[in-house]
């Protein structure tokens, strides 16, 4: 009895839903008939079992074949509406339909996937793939209707999910996307991302690496300093030591090939900012290179992902969860200032920093002893 009652309710719901859709369709067809009457559409012609119709617009002809004369008339009405709308778009009287998701696709296809930096390309691809999940309903909204208020609400929601640095990076990425729509596609008059407040940038990381931590990393990677690296974990340890000597980024070390190594320096043809760079080699760095005995093209015969996973897994086993591989860059730069007394402009050339303030305030992390030693010459 109960099942029969629910079945009746279900049938009633289906009938109501169909009636509602029929009502919408009837309204649409009625509107279409009115458009047809105003447009003075051409008459469909019967050819065999089908009908054809020809629409002329601005000295061009468009053809269609359908099963009935009414279908031909409906097609012709929609085609004329489409053509007239396109004319208004070209004349600047009407804005084209362009949703945020379409802009994301176009930007990735034409700009994002061609970024010169491998790591940047990977990050941009991640943004592209997760776009729908990240923006939800906003992804389906026309770029002309997206307001600073929409983006402020998105920013506040995003800050509850990830840190300030991540949100800042994402805002920069999507702002560049809208600038592309504004300056390259000429779709927008202004960029709404430029009208929202950015999260306050957190204090720059100033992590140094203590000698005891270097020993722990080598121990967990089963590597003895001065030995030839053989196993995958050995190459991670070798890369760690080489980074401390050169201030090279992980991606730069993993991309390093034999042809890039010269007498006294490494030439990096492509770096994070897209420019080539010369990295002088200390005696310690030269000794590390001598330990590489294999004849392969790349100095470290590992993928970036395999290297990263090995690093993340092994550092945790010795309690160094808060140690980032990028901290080697802080350590190396601080050592270069302390030991080699390099002028900041020379140091910037070696490290690849275009902004001196970032180099000095973020990567140079002296302790009290370093400052006293520098002061006393």
Q: Which residues are catalytic?
A: 249, 272, 353, 363
Helix (H) or strand (E) holding 260: none
Distance between CA atoms of residues 228 and 266, nearest Å = 20
CA-based nearest residue to 276, from 213, 349, 328, 227: 349
User: Chain centroid to CA 368: how far?
Assistant: 39
Does residue 196 contact residue 204 with C-beta atoms inside 8 Å? Answer: no
Cβ atoms within 10 Å of 31's Cβ, excluding its own? 11
Does residue 227 contact residue 211 with C-beta atoms inside 8 Å? Answer: no
Cβ atoms within 10 Å of 51's Cβ, excluding its own? 20
- Residue 22 bridge partners (DSSP): none
**Contacts for 250 with CB less than 8 Å, ≥ 6 apart:** 239, 243, 304, 307, 308, 325, 326
């Amino acid at each position: 009895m109960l099942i029969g009652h629910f079945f009746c309710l279900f049938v009633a719901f289906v009938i109501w839903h169909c009636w509602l859709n029929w009502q919408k369709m009837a309204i649409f067809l009625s509107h279409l008939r009115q458009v047809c009457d105003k447009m003075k559409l051409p008459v469909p012609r019967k050819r065999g079992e089908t009908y054809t119709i020809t629409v002329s617009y601005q000295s061009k002809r468009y053809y269609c074949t359908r099963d009935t004369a009414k279908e031909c008339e409906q097609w012709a009405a929609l085609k004329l509406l489409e053509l007239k709308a396109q004319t208004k778009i070209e004349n600047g009287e009407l804005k084209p339909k362009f949703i945020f998701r379409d802009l994301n696709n176009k930007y990735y296809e034409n700009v994002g996937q061609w970024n010169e930096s491998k790591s940047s390309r990977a990050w941009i691809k991640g943004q592209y793939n997760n776009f729908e999940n990240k923006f939800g309903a906003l992804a389906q909204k026309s770029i002309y209707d997206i307001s600073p208020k929409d983006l402020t609400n998105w920013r506040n929601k995003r800050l509850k999910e990830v840190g300030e640095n991540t949100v800042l990076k994402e805002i920069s990425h999507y702002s560049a996307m809208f600038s592309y729509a504004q300056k390259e596609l000429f779709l927008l008059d202004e960029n709404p991302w430029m009208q929202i407040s950015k999260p306050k940038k957190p204090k720059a990381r100033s992590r140094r690496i203590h000698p005891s931590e270097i020993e722990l990393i080598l121990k967990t990677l089963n590597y003895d300093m001065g030995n030839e690296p053989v196993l995958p974990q050995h190459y991670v340890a070798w890369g760690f030591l080489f980074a401390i000597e050169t201030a090279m980024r992980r991606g730069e070390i993993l991309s390093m090939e034999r042809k890039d190594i010269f007498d006294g320096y490494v030439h990096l043809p492509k770096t994070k900012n897209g420019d080539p760079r010369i990295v002088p080699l200390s005696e310690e760095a030269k000794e590390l290179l001598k330990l590489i005995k294999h004849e392969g093209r790349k100095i470290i015969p590992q993928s970036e992902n395999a290297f990263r996973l090995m690093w993340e897994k092994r550092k945790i086993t010795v309690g160094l969860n808060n140690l980032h591989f990028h901290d080697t860059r802080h350590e190396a730069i601080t050592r270069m200032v302390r030991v080699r007394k390099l002028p900041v402009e020379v140091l910037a050339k070696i490290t690849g920093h275009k902004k001196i303030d970032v180099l000095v305030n973020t990567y140079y992390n002296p302790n009290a002893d370093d400052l006293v030693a520098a002061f006393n010459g």
